[in-house]
Amino acid sequence: DAGVIQSPRHEVTEMGQEVTLRCKPISGHNSLFWYRQTMMRGLELLIYFNNNVPIDDSGMPEDRFSAKMPNASFSTLKIQPSEPRDSAVYFCASSSIWLAGGRDTQYFGPGTRLTVL
Amino acid sequence: GIQVEQSPPDLILQEGANSTLRCNFSDSVNNLQWFHQNPWGQLINLFYIPSGTKQNGRLSATTVATERYSLLYISSSQTTDSGVYFCAVGLTSGTYKYIFGTGTRLKVLA
């Protein structure tokens, strides 16, 4: 398996522009997580999906952020409009969660480094 | 909410030395993972260890869930071990969130 795939790897944009980050989870995994990493706040969970349904979006910083998972093999994180304080590395991770309450190892993608000027 | 604390925050070692990294958590968890973030920023799974002890080469980990801590042992350290080590805990109730610790930054000198 190719692992979790994210695109683009780097994104530089100007304040006010729309930014879309993409993620393809590992085939067979039923849960997907979006994280943001900054020096100040470390690794923060933004949102996670289980079976393509958003389960917990309490980490999404504000309405400018939205995430979708239209099918089991694709998810997007969109920022509109972007601001300089959104500059960070955004990671996508996938895992398996079972109905009995167990879960498997979480695997991370390479991340997208976003710079908003 | 649950607190996840890692110690030490920074560590400098000479190549060949051994080290122990600690992760303390303030509430019950049913899952714990250790990750290594290399200097290129990639997060690499080391251990999935909700309890007990595991070993993988020069690395081993022990989690004592009842006492709310986990330890990561690195033996005969190499320069390629440099980076940041994170523990992440999964909560027991109502959510499949992982909460990450603040990390231990390790630098191994040749």
> In the 8-state DSSP scheme, what is residue B45?
E
**Among A43, A89, A105, beta carbon nearest to B48:** A105
pLDDT of residue A103: 66
Q: Do B96 and A106 touch (CB under 8 A)?
A: no
List pLDDT tens digits, range A4-40: 999 999 999 999 999 999 999 999 999 999 999 999 9
Q: Do B96 and A48 touch (CB under 8 A)?
A: yes
- Cα distance between residue A114 and residue B5, in whole Å: 28
Question: Closest by alpha carbon to A113, among A38, A34, A61, A16?
Answer: A38
| Shortest CA distance from B29: residue in chain A | A102
- Cα distance between residue A107 and residue A40, in whole Å: 23
Cβ atoms of B94 and B82 within 8 Å: the answer is no
- Amino acid in position B58: R
- Tokens read off for A45: 């969970």
| Shortest CA distance from A113: residue in chain B | B41
Distance from the Cα of residue B24 to its chain's centroid:
10
Share of chain B above pLDDT 90, in %: 82
pLDDT of residue B9: 97
